[in-house]
Chains A and B, each alone.
Chain A
């Protein structure tokens, strides 16, 4: 009798903690996804200022700068939601990343330019911005993986239905061109 009671209480406690663990991971995943948005928004806001700051010094590379601005405006315009929306957003953002990395490569090509205070600052800010987005995605992927693993693993999977836990998608790089990009290591000083 007592054994049965203790067993029921123990199982009950386990269900509660497993349920709460899943809910907590679910919310962390949602939050981590929002963080990516925050960082993308930050990049949109930053780019016009940065480009304005170096416009004078980089007049001869007007085309590269304009490409950046154009890609930025394109990315701001995308305002869709749902799985299709995420695809569109990530396409526009990837285009912007491409334009920015071309700008950084261009800057690398002119050693004289790097001596100017503004340009080295631009370089640092761009590197940092790209890093922030990358790390926000990394955090999202890590948290989502943890969440997915948890809800699929054996004892917890019994509670997964109760917690409305569903598999979340990881953030992936879609087009092959972007995947091939990692080239110039700008993090070296």
Chain B
């Protein structure tokens, strides 16, 4: 968050500095103040309204008065898992989408939201739904939700500001160096180059930040789901089902992709391994997650001395 504000301050004040060096007049750093202000406001705005924005963007509606059996079940399951995790019950939202997916958002465990798609309710049995909800509550308990939601809003803000600035620059034109600033030629050139590069990579940097944080957190939330339900195989089978129905979740936009239990965009990157996928996918490869969960499941069964078929949810 602070990094974000500082980065914007650099973009703004750096621009002013270059401008001041290259021209004799224009001493007032309006661009710097403006951009820093924008950054502070967006950061604050992103933090406070992030959850509402994310939920609004997916078209979710809150489940306050469950009517059907499926709705009653999801409310019960969320309450059970909140007990298991030792957190207050989050608010429950339903996303009207046939593709199975789920995500969590909010600031802290006392103010959190869990959203599931209609599709998830139809394809998952009770155990699997429980495992998915437990995964999301894992995110809530780890405070991932705060970080992730803020990041989601910030990535959006960076993209927006850059688009706007790009248009302004093309319209207004940047001062060409060397015309007036003969005294500080090379310095200005280097600074200008750095500055322009910063502008270009701004969205990329914020995106990479999101990705790096989010992949690690997925494994952790998977492990917490296993801890809460004591049933890692249920999550494994839920993930298999979700993967099987890997049509893109149309109502979840790319900005909120890293919040979901599995990549809603159905990108092939998520399912491949290797350096590139490691850096650029929002989620670890599904096969890796499933095999880790199955490893936990078998270890548990071995300890209990049961057989695989007796307790594995199908």
Please provide the chain A residues from 129 to 156 with a CB less than 8 Å away from any CB of chain B in the complex.
131-132, 135-136, 138-139, 142-143
Interface residue total, chain B, C-beta cutoff 8 A:
22
Cβ of B80 < 8 Å from any Cβ of A?
yes
Q: Does B160 contact A (CB under 8 A)?
A: no
Contact of B76 with A by CB under 8 A: yes
Pick the residue among B83, B85, B230, B313 that contacts A132 (CB under 8 A): B83
Across the interface, do A136 and B79 meet the contact criterion of CB distance under 8 Å?
Answer: no
Nearest-neighbour CB distance to chain A for B211, whole angstroms, equals 32
Instruction: Check B99 for interface membership: any CB of A closer than 8 A.
Output: no
A125 to B228, CA, bound (A): 20
Q: Is A168 an interface residue (CB 8 A)?
A: no
Q: Which residues of A contact B65 (CB under 8 A)?
A: none
* Most chain A beta-carbon neighbours within 10 Å: one of B83, B86, B311: B83
Please name 21 pairs of A and B residues whose Cβ atoms are closer than 8 Å in the assembled complex, sorted by A: A35-B83, A39-B83, A125-B76, A127-B76, A127-B126, A128-B76, A128-B77, A128-B79, A128-B80, A131-B80, A132-B80, A132-B83, A135-B80, A136-B83, A138-B84, A139-B83, A185-B311, A187-B130, A188-B125, A188-B314, A189-B125
Chain A residue with minimal CB distance to B80? Answer: A131
How far apart sit A136 and B83, CA to CA, in the bound complex (Å)? Answer: 6
Q: Nearest CB to that of A36 among chain B residues?
A: B83
Contact B69 A124 (CB under 8 A): yes
The distance from the CB of A125 to the nearest CB of chain B, in whole angstroms, is 8
Contact check, A188 vs B126: say whether CB atoms are below 8 A apart.
yes
CB pair A138–B72 under 8 Å, yes or no, is no
Known: A125-B76, A128-B80, A139-B84. 4 other contacts (CB 8 A): A128-B79, A135-B81, A188-B125, A188-B313
**Which residues of B approach A to under 8 Å, CB–CB?**
69, 72-73, 76-77, 79-81, 83-86, 125-127, 130, 227-228, 230, 311, 313-314
Which single member of A121, A132, A143, A189 contacts B79 (CB below 8 Å)? A132
Which A residues have a C-beta under 8 Å from some C-beta of B?
28, 32, 35, 39, 120-121, 124-125, 127-128, 131-132, 135-136, 138-139, 142-143, 185, 187-189
A189 to B69, CA, bound (A): 11
Instruction: Say whether A32 contacts B86, CB under 8 Å.
Output: yes
Write the chain B residue with the least CB distance to A128: B76
**A189 and B84: CB pair below 8 A?**
no
**Binding site secondary structure of chain B:** helix
Interface pair B125/A124, CB less than 8 Å apart: no
> Are A143 and B80 interface neighbours, CB within 8 A?
no
Q: B80 to A124, Cβ gap below 8 A?
A: no
- Residue of B76, B85, B230 near A124 (CB, 8 A) is B76
Across-interface contacts of A136 in B (CB, < 8 A): 83
Determine which of B69, B83, B314 lies in contact with A135 in the assembled complex, contact meaning CB atoms within 8 Å. B83
Chain A residue contacts of B125, Cβ below 8 A:
187-189
CB neighbours of B77 from chain A (8 A): 128
**A91–B125 Cα gap in the complex (Å)?**
32
Q: Are A189 and B126 in contact (CB under 8 A)?
A: yes
User: In the assembly, what is the distance between CA of A82 and CA of B5, in Å?
Assistant: 57
B81 nearest CB neighbor, chain A only: A135
CB-contact partner of A121 in B72, B81, B86, B311, under 8 A: B72
Q: Is the CB of B86 within 8 A of A139?
A: yes
Measured between beta carbons, the chain A residues less than 8 angstroms from B227 are 142
Please give, as numbers and ranges, the residues of chain B lying within 8 Å of A185 by CB-CB distance. 311
Report the minimum CB–CB distance from A136 to chain B (whole Å): 5
Q: How far is the CA of A113 from the CA of B228 in the complex (A)?
A: 33
Contacts of B230 in A (CB 8 A): 138
C-alpha spacing A32/B69, complex, angstroms: 30
How many angstroms from the CA of A128 to the CA of B127 in the assembled complex?
A: 12
A120 contact set on B, CB distance < 8 A: 69
Distance in angstroms between the alpha carbons of A120 and B86 in the assembled complex: 28
